[in-house]
């Protein structure tokens, strides 16, 4: 798992060097910071450290993206195909990314409903129960719902009266 995350982070960094648009650069920086935060969690087993690291990275990237997008012109950047080396190396490491047996294993854990309420509320790992394999579909549904709400808010806001750029 660690090697897969290291390889993924490396190839995302290679893709970052071949991009020229601020939006794609921001997306790649956020993805690299998420993989680095996951790596730091797997190595240190301290969730709070990796979470704070991720939040600091993302907040810094958001500030830089707002500044760069307010300075950048409105022209469309031409899309370039990915360099052959990055594309070939990603395709070669794709079997490494998909060979994890995590999704094929059956869970031997008991249902959360069978646990007493005092165990759920007094446990120090209460927050990690949100990401337990038994609640993964609910967590995924919550993430998709938040993404949908984000897209609806972005679509309904007026682009002509935005705070970043005034029409002159």
Helix-helix angle 47-71:22-44, to 10 degrees: 170
108 found inside a domain: no
Residues 95 and 26 in one domain: yes
What percentage of residues in the chain have a pLDDT greater than 90? 0
**pLDDT, tens only, 150-163:** 777 777 666 666 55
Same domain for 59 and 27: yes
- Do 96 and 149 share a structural domain? no
In a domain, 165, yes or no: no
Other residues' Cβ atoms within 10 Å of the Cβ of residue 20: 10
Burial of 69: CB neighbours in 10 Å, binned 0-12, 13-18, 19+: middle
In angstroms and rounded to an integer, the radius of gyration of the C-alpha atoms of the chain is 20
Q: Judge whether 36 lies within some domain.
A: yes
Answer yes or no: do 95 and 135 share one domain: no
Sign for the pseudo-dihedral over CA of 133, 125, 110, 116: negative
In this structure, what token pair is assigned to residue 96?
């490494």
Residue 117 lies in a domain: no
Least confident of 53-62, 85-94, 138-147, 159-168: 159-168
Q: Are residues 90 and 130 in the same domain?
A: no
The Cα 63–Cα 30 span in angstroms is 13
pLDDT tens by residue, 122-143 = 555 555 666 677 777 767 777 7
Taking the complete model, does pTM exceed 0.75, yes or no?
no
Asked if residue 2 belongs to a domain, the reply is yes
The reply to whether 164 falls in a domain is: no
For residues 90 and 138, membership in a common domain is answered with no
**Range(s) of the domain holding residue 138:** 125-157
């Amino acid at each position: 798992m660690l090697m897969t995350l290291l390889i993924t982070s490396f190839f995302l960094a290679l893709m970052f060097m071949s991009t020229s648009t601020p939006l794609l650069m921001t997306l790649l920086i956020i993805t690299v910071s998420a993989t680095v935060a996951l790596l730091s969690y797997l190595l240190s087993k301290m969730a709070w450290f990796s979470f704070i690291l991720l939040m600091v990275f993302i907040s810094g990237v958001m500030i830089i993206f707002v500044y760069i997008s307010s300075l950048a012109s409105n022209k469309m950047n031409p899309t370039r195909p990915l360099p052959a080396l990055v594309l070939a190396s990603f395709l070669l490491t794709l079997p490494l990314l998909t060979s994890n047996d995590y999704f094929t294993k059956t869970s031997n854990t008991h249902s959360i409903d069978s646990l007493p309420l005092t165990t759920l509320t007094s446990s120090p790992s209460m927050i990690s129960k949100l990401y337990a394999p038994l609640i993964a579909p609910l967590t995924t549904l919550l993430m998709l719902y938040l993404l949908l709400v984000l897209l609806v808010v972005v679509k309904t806001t007026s682009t002509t009266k935005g705070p970043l750029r005034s029409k002159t």
